[in-house]
Amino acid sequence: MDLRDLRVFVAIAETGSLVGAAEVLHIGPPSLSARLKGLEEELRAQLFHRRARGLVLTEDGRIFLAHAYAILKQAEEAKASLSGRDSPVVGAVRFGIPGSLIGLMTGPLIERCVRDLPQVRLKVVESMSGYIADWLRDGTLDAAVVFGGGAADHTSASLRAVAEEELHVATYRPDLIAPYLDGSGCIAMANVARLDLVMPGLQHGLRILAEATARSLGHVLRVTIEVDATTQIFEVIHRLSASTICSLAALHQSTLPASLAAERIHTFRVVSPGFTRKIYLAMPLNRPSSRATLAVTNLSERMMLDFAQSDLWQAKPLAQP
């Protein structure tokens, strides 16, 4: 097996036929068929179902496709890291940041890119982490920050763990939480289930993680309102005297509603069990990353590691600075 075999396999998987792959790779269908047969014999696995309308991946094929994407991406990144090292980094990068980190990261990241990567055109895109995973797959984004612990499908992305953050209950009405606090001022998940919560919808990683953690302990969260925008979540919990679950990074002043700037929001650590999620840098596996994309992700990683150890976030670094 070599990289040419993997490129043939990926082209067939993406086009669904030998003829389509031949047009992409400029190789005759008989040669592609021979390579595919040799690959299946080497792997001792059938990678495609042969149908009248083309080729469809088997379960083994789907598993192998993720590995093929990863290997080809690593090869491209190795090549990119050595080529053009003496020339400036040039290009456009579309970088996704989840709503809860947008206030903390956007300004500093743009400032550092302007200073350190002046010929890179950076576009920051905000969304909930679940949408970001989709946009990485379909090419809308070149790289992104994503959260672990949810059901977002990251199988087509390479993930690099950067930090781990604690999750808190946040509210403008601490008197509603006071009866449920322990001696350390923390709240157990069993008592979080007693609160009226405003949360993002079921497709989002934070909601999925919170629901799954509560369910594993035999509890069901009382989500009274769903809002898929971080700033508006805080506005709603203020209006309805409710609570939400978030990280400390989401409380950055530029994320909170300007109309509530004078209001104090109170946070309480969730315990029994401890409630955390990991933060990753993600890049798609189905296409190579440019030097500009690699430079922006490296810059964002260093920046997040700095923030992780500050009072703004108080997260646990998982990568080396």
pLDDT digits (tens, 9 = 90+) for 212-271: 999 999 999 999 999 988 889 999 999 999 999 999 999 887 778 888 888 999 999 999
pLDDT band at 195 (very low <50, low <70, confident <90, very high): very high
Residue 128 has pLDDT above 80, yes or no: no
Which range has the worst mean pLDDT, 87-96, 181-190, 298-307?
A: 87-96
Specify the domain boundaries for CATH 3.40.190.290 within the chain.
165-276
Rounded CA-CA distance 41/67 in Å is 17
89 compared with 180, residue with greater pLDDT = 180
Q: Which structure tokens are listed for 279?
A: 């933060």
What's the confidence (pLDDT) of residue 27? 92
- Is 60 exceeded by the pLDDT of residue 99? yes
Tens of pLDDT, residues 49-83: 988 888 999 999 989 988 888 788 778 767 766 65
Mean pLDDT score, 157-179: 93
The CATH number that domain 3-82 falls under is: 1.10.10.10
At 282, give phi and psi (nearest 5°). Answer: -125, 140
Arithmetic mean of pLDDT over the chain: 88
Cα dist. 63→13, 156, 242 in Å?
A: 12, 11, 44
Q: What is the pLDDT of residue 150?
A: 43
**Contacts made by residues 47-56, CB under 8 angstroms, sequence distance 24+:** 47/9, 48/12, 48/13, 53/16, 54/16, 54/17, 54/20, 55/12, 55/13, 55/16, 55/17, 55/18, 56/16
Q: 273 preceded by cis ω (within 30°)?
A: yes
pLDDT at 252: 85
Quickly name the fold that domain 165-276 has: D-Maltodextrin-Binding Protein; domain 2 (3.40.190)
In this predicted structure, what is the pLDDT of residue 130?
A: 67
Percent of the chain with pLDDT over 90: 59
Intervals of CATH 3.40.190.10 along the chain: 91-162+278-317
Residue 171: per-residue pLDDT: 97
Fold of 91-162+278-317: D-Maltodextrin-Binding Protein; domain 2 (3.40.190)
